């Protein structure tokens, strides 16, 4: 068998067939999935039975409050919340007529969650008290209430002053009502109490205001009038108008960039760690008696490239599968995947060569940090510019950056996922620059590798590396 290939296979097996890799790379997505499912499977906590005392000094709020806290009000509130959730999901997926099972499942899940959060707390009992009730005594009752599942306990006191409904306004604002709650009251129940009382007070204000009552406008009609319209923008295209995908279209450049960085950097890190380890194990010279430094380095890079490709395939495949399930596969084009593959190879060989040179030159991982900083900065720079590049992929800035060696594969991948199509010739030029960069980096790395791999003791600096390149 070809020796370079033999080295590559050993390197691949040495990384992939380890518990660390399986746990770190393969199980991470599985764990996330299990985590999501586990949340669904956790049994709901038994509801707390809560009593709320209302002291209505306005005299008109209590009726609306009773409605809001009654079963009909809670149901209507749940329906409204569910409808709002559905609208937001539709907008997020672009209302593209895409009715995949994942979208349906998401809607159903969100609706039931909304219903649970809003209408689920049926056991909140409202008790309207005399306006002259002693507030301090009630507050003491709330403070001393036993939190438990027995008979409903007084957990909140709401005091609505007359001014909260009829005014006058103070500095343009309505005077507020007061809400006193037990410190251990569930935050969702507290939120429901607050919201329902707020709605009841607004209902009371609308009904009490002669401008509305004179015009025979109900609180619902007034609220509908004030609801802010929020239509989905229609993107104009050759195949007809389509709802704009909004933020969803950012998924692809982000995902492609993350995939590229994750696979390249993980593979590169494995390569460098393996080299440092082999150097400290003193196994390097044994290998060099059988193969040339170039064969050794190439074998290692190919082995780790397969590791990186495996990572890319696992995460990329999972991502594409997710898009297929969500019926969003239109976001991905085959040509883009091909370009992604091309830029992956350019980026990987460049970064891996750098990592190989660093791994061969240093004695331990600590020493490697000095050399890794510029490598990391070069890779991180495009990452920091994802937003401006993907929003204007054909800007002069993005175009020029996609021709700058080392970072060009990363920038080109972001441009590919951006909002405008990138001219093919620019991608081709970037790919050629990427290939040339990979070759030059590998050539320099091989020179450093040949000398560094047998050097022990004083850690080298950049000047030493340059000298090695000249020497080899």
Interaction site with another protein (CB under 8 A): 1, 3, 6-7, 10, 14, 278, 281-293, 450-451, 454, 456, 467
Cβ distance to another protein smaller for residue 12 or 64: 12
Match 């949340």 to its residue by tokens. 39
Cβ distance to another protein smaller for residue 292 or 373: 292
Nearest distance from C-beta of residue 18 to another protein, angstroms: 8
Cβ distance to another protein smaller for residue 196 or 279: 279
Separation of alpha carbons 274 and 300, rounded Å:
9
Please state, as a whole number, how many other Cβ atoms lie within 10 Å of the Cβ of residue 305.
24
Nearest distance from C-beta of residue 14 to another protein, angstroms: 7
Nearest distance from C-beta of residue 282 to another protein, angstroms: 3
Nearest distance from C-beta of residue 275 to another protein, angstroms: 13
Please state, as a whole number, how many other Cβ atoms lie within 10 Å of the Cβ of residue 384.
10
Cβ distance to another protein smaller for residue 258 or 291: 291
Separation of alpha carbons 343 and 108, rounded Å:
40
Please state, as a whole number, how many other Cβ atoms lie within 10 Å of the Cβ of residue 469.
17
Separation of alpha carbons 312 and 319, rounded Å:
10
Cβ distance to another protein smaller for residue 11 or 56: 11
Are 131 and 160 in contact, with CB atoms under 8 Å apart? no
Name the nearest CA neighbour of 71 among 123, 115, 16, 25. Answer: 123
**393: Cα within 13 Å, side-chain hemisphere:** 21
Separation of alpha carbons 8 and 296, rounded Å:
9
Instruction: Name beta bridge partners: 153.
Output: 50
Are 96 and 34 in contact, with CB atoms under 8 Å apart? no
Cβ distance to another protein smaller for residue 126 or 287: 287
Nearest distance from C-beta of residue 283 to another protein, angstroms: 4
Q: Is 92 helix (H, G, I), strand (E, B) or coil?
A: helix
Name the nearest CA neighbour of 190 among 180, 200, 199. Answer: 180
Cβ distance to another protein smaller for residue 7 or 372: 7
Separation of alpha carbons 65 and 124, rounded Å:
12
Nearest distance from C-beta of residue 427 to another protein, angstroms: 40
Residues near 166 by beta carbon (within 8 Å), at least 6 away in sequence:
58, 205, 208
Cβ distance to another protein smaller for residue 222 or 304: 304
Are 468 and 451 in contact, with CB atoms under 8 Å apart? yes
Cβ distance to another protein smaller for residue 146 or 289: 289
Beta strands in 217-359 (DSSP E): 234-235, 242-243
Cβ distance to another protein smaller for residue 126 or 296: 296
Cβ distance to another protein smaller for residue 19 or 211: 19
Nearest distance from C-beta of residue 304 to another protein, angstroms: 16
Nearest distance from C-beta of residue 295 to another protein, angstroms: 9
Separation of alpha carbons 113 and 109, rounded Å:
6
- Give the rounded distance of the alpha carbon of 101 from its chain centre: 22
Nearest distance from C-beta of residue 247 to another protein, angstroms: 46
Calculate helix-pair angle for 251-281, 334-361, nearest 10 degrees. 30
The DSSP letter of residue 174 is: P
Nearest distance from C-beta of residue 274 to another protein, angstroms: 10
The DSSP letter of residue 250 is: G
Separation of alpha carbons 191 and 188, rounded Å:
5
Nearest distance from C-beta of residue 4 to another protein, angstroms: 10
């Amino acid at each position: 068998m070809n020796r370079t290939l033999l080295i590559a296979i050993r390197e691949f097996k040495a990384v992939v067939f380890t518990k660390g890799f399986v746990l770190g790379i393969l199980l991470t997505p599985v764990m996330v999935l299990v985590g999501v499912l586990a949340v669904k499977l956790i049994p709901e906590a038994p509801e707390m039975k809560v009593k709320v005392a209302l002291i209505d000094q306005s005299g008109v709020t209590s009726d609306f409050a009773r409605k809001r806290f009654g079963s009909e009000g809670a149901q209507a509130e749940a329906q409204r919340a569910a409808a709002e959730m559905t609208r937001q999901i539709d907008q997020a997926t672009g209302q593209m007529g895409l009715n995949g099972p994942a979208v349906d499942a998401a809607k159903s899940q969100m609706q039931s969650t909304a219903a649970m959060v809003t209408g689920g707390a049926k056991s909140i009992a409202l008790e309207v008290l005399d306006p002259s009730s002693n507030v301090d005594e009630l507050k003491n009752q709330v403070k001393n209430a036993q939190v438990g599942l027995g008979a409903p306990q007084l957990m909140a006191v709401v005091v609505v002053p007359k001014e909260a409904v009829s005014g006058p306004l103070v500095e343009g604002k309505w005077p507020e009502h007061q809400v006193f709650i037990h410190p251990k009251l569930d935050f969702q129940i507290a939120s429901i109490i607050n919201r329902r009382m707020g709605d009841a007070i607004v209902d009371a204000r609308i009904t009490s205001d002669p401008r509305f009552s004179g015009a025979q406008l109900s609180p619902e009609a007034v609220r509908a009038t004030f609801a802010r319209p929020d239509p989905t923008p229609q993107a104009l295209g050759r195949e007809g108008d389509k709802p704009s995908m909004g933020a969803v279209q950012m998924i692809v450049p982000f995902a492609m960039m993350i995939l590229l960085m994750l696979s390249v950097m993980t593979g590169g890190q494995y390569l460098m760690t393996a080299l440092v380890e082999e150097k400290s194990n003193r196994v390097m010279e044994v290998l060099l008696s059988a193969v040339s430094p170039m064969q050794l380095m190439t074998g290692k890079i190919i082995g780790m490239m397969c590791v990186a490709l495996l990572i890319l395939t696992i995460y990329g495949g999972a991502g594409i599968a997710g898009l297929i399930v969500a019926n969003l596969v239109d976001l991905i084009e085959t040509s883009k995947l091909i370009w992604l593959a091309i830029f992956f190879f350019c980026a990987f060989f460049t970064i891996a060569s750098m990592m190989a040179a660093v791994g061969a030159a240093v004695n331990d991982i600590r020493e490697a940090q000095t050399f890794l900083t510029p490598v990391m900065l070069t890779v991180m720079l495009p990452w920091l510019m994802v937003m401006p590049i993907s929003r204007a992929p054909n800007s002069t800035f993005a175009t020029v950056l996609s021709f700058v060696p080392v970072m060009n594969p990363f920038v080109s991948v972001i441009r590919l996922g951006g909002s405008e199509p990138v001219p093919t010739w620019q991608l081709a030029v970037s790919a050629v620059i990427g290939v040339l960069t990979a070759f030059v980096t590998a050539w320099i790395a091989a020179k450093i590798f040949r000398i560094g791999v047998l050097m022990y003791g004083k850690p080298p600096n950049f000047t030493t590396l340059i000298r090695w390149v000249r020497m080899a």
